[in-house]
Amino acid sequence: MLGLGQSLAHGGAPSETPFKLVVSSVQILQKPDDESFSVRAFITSETRDAVGTSSVNSYTRYTNLTADLVMNRIDTSDSSVEASATATLNVYKGVSSSDIRLSDATGNSSFSALIGQDGADTLDMTDTNVFSQDITTAVTAQAFRADVVLKGTGFTDSDSVSSAASGTQISP
């Protein structure tokens, strides 16, 4: 019987397969500034054990992880995607043991500083093809779905996991 993380390569010799990262859920949060949103993901306990644990107020960066983010603007009448934007973001430990935050910050950070850097430099927040209005100056709420793939050196990419299909509101 093969153990977790093992497989048989050609020739019968056992070889290590990289641990596959597992994201259990993704959420979009609103923020009080004009960048307007933050993306949070939850990882399984096995993934947490593989990449390390966190503690409250510990917003340290997982330097061996990144996340591919697709922000999809959602038509709330039928949950269809109207437009999308992509970014590769850095990954930080969140406040609970299983949550991670995506950010374009690079260094370790406090939570209050970190929530000001959630992709605004990477996602073009002024692209009105993606964000029906320039999100930095928008005057109405919009709904989005975030698709996240977690990647890391020495790990197999996670499957893509999405936030609520019917969209999550982001106010300007």
Partner 1 sequence: MALELHYCIQADVSTANDTSIGDAVKLSNKAGLSTVNGAQSTASRRPVHKAPATNAKLFPSVGSLSFDGTDGLDLSAEVNLGGQPYTLVFAWVDGDYTSDAWLFTASSNSAHYGIDAGGAGVLLKPNSSRSPGGDEDSIVTSNTDNSTVDYTFGSDVEALIIVNEGNDDVNFYNIDGDLIATKSESLYDSSFPLAYIGHNGVGSRGLNASVLDVQVHSSFAATAGQAKAIGQYIKNLKD
The residues of the shown chain that bind partner 1, judged by CB under 8 A, are: 27-34, 40, 56, 74, 76-79, 94-96, 99, 111-112, 115, 136-137, 139-141, 143, 164, 166-172
> In the complex, what is the shortest distance from the CB of residue 82 to partner 1, in angstroms, rounded to a whole number?
13
* Torsion sign across C-alpha atoms 70, 75, 78, 80: negative
**Beta carbons within 8 Å of 130's beta carbon, 6+ residues apart:** 71, 73, 83, 84, 85, 123, 124
Q: Pick between residue 90 and residue 152 the one whose CB is nearest to partner 1.
A: 90
Looking only at the bridges linking them, the beta strands covering 61-75 and 142-152 are antiparallel
> In the complex, what is the shortest distance from the CB of residue 32 to partner 1, in angstroms, rounded to a whole number?
4
> In the complex, what is the shortest distance from the CB of residue 94 to partner 1, in angstroms, rounded to a whole number?
7
> In the complex, what is the shortest distance from the CB of residue 99 to partner 1, in angstroms, rounded to a whole number?
8
Joined tokens for residue 129? 């093809």
Count of CB atoms within 10 A of residue 146's CB? 24
Q: Pick between residue 77 and residue 153 the one whose CB is nearest to partner 1.
A: 77
Q: Pick between residue 111 and residue 155 the one whose CB is nearest to partner 1.
A: 111
Joined tokens for residue 138? 């928008």
